[in-house]
Amino acid sequence: MATNITATMAAYGQFIPEIFSKEIIVARENNLVLANLVERYDSDVKNSGDVIRIPNLSAITATYKVENVDAAQSATTETSSTITINKHAVARVTIEDMAAIQSHIDLRKKYTEQIGKAIARITDTDIRNLYSGFSKTVGVAATTASGYALAKSYILEGIRYLNSKNAPFEDRAFVVESYGHKDLLNTDDFVRYDAVGIGGDKNATMTAKFGKLYGVDVYLSEQIYTLSSVAYGMLFQKSAIGLAVQKAMRVQAQYDVPALAWELVADSLYGVAELRDDHGVCIRYNQT
């Protein structure tokens, strides 16, 4: 009889990942912010490989043709950036039968959502950590304890810098945490834009986007780095950072008969890298 029960559970287990995967993908996508704003290279490693090499074409300077003289050769120095697929994010929970039976909520469904959020957070955190490689920092000093909220001048200087580096105007994003969100709501230019109603409530329906300022989409994420009451906002153009997801989010479930419990494990395999440090600006401000 025990053998029959084990065989039955194993057979049923083949179907569980398909059911739970749909739920966990929704949970993950609804919580990703930074991962949806950077350049994606998923297709380059879909089938195999662990390193993506991305050529960086240098700008070419034009000259004038001199009569009866061959055109001068344009000097170029080509480099490349790499994304290494070296991050295997994992989240695992165990749900014992007693807890599942006595709970008034569907624990398996709720924990499936939670592990999806956990994978989203660690992915965004890996991208967030690349702020330190940006070639430009504006705002307060890292040691400033308090008194300097997110100022309009910080944002304008960041935009000026991106413009000076010929960063494309499209696909720019500014990501702040909750204090930065509050400061922006106290900025007249931002509030006046919102008052116009462009975009309506669609901005906040399924993403963290909550407005637009000086042509830049603005997002809220609590994954933004903070230290000693200083927040490190990220203003960047899409091509500043690359993300390659080789194995998209999956969830596997297995019933552990001796433990009388369900094991849920979610994982994702990916790599992140800074590709253009002059297409990103770190904007520091106090959490006041």
Least Cα distance to 108 among 194, 223, 185, 24 occurs for 24
Which residues, at least 6 apart from 80, have a Cβ–Cβ distance to it below 8 Å?
53, 54, 55, 56
Over residues 17-21, mean pLDDT: 50
Q: Alpha-carbon distance 39 to 82, whole Å?
A: 13
217-236: string of b/e by CB count within 10 Å (b at 16+)?
bbbbbebbbeeeebbbbbbb
Helix (H) or strand (E) holding 266: strand 261-274
Which of 75-79, 113-117, 203-207, 211-215 is least confident? 203-207
Over residues 106-121, mean pLDDT: 88
Which residues, at least 6 apart from 79, have a Cβ–Cβ distance to it below 8 Å?
55, 56, 58
Tokens coding 76: 């170029």
Mean pLDDT for the chain? 84
For the chain, which domains are there?
2-57+77-127+243-274 (3.30.2400.10), 134-240+277-286 (3.30.2320)
Is pTM beyond 0.85 here? no
Residue 254: the pLDDT is: 92
Q: Which stretches within 129-253 are classed as H helix?
A: 152-164, 178-185, 188-196
- Measured in whole angstroms, how far is the alpha carbon of residue 217 from the centre of its chain? 15
Task: Give the residue carrying structure tokens 């116009």.
Answer: 196
The answer on pLDDT for 65 being more than 50 is yes
Residue 266: the pLDDT is: 92
Residue 116: the pLDDT is: 86
**Positions of E strands within 79-135:** 79-84, 87-96
Over residues 32-58, mean pLDDT: 90
Over residues 134-149, mean pLDDT: 91
Q: What is the DSSP letter of 129?
A: G
Q: Which residue has the higher pLDDT, 123 or 61?
A: 123
Angle, helices 178-185/188-196, rounded to nearest 10 degrees: 80
Residue 206: the pLDDT is: 41
pLDDT tens digits along 186-218 = 888 776 655 444 554 444 434 578 888 899 999
Confidence of residue 70 (pLDDT cuts 50, 70, 90): confident
**Positions of E strands within 86-228:** 87-96, 136-139, 172-176, 209-213, 216-220, 226-227
Q: Alpha-carbon distance 83 to 51, whole Å?
A: 6
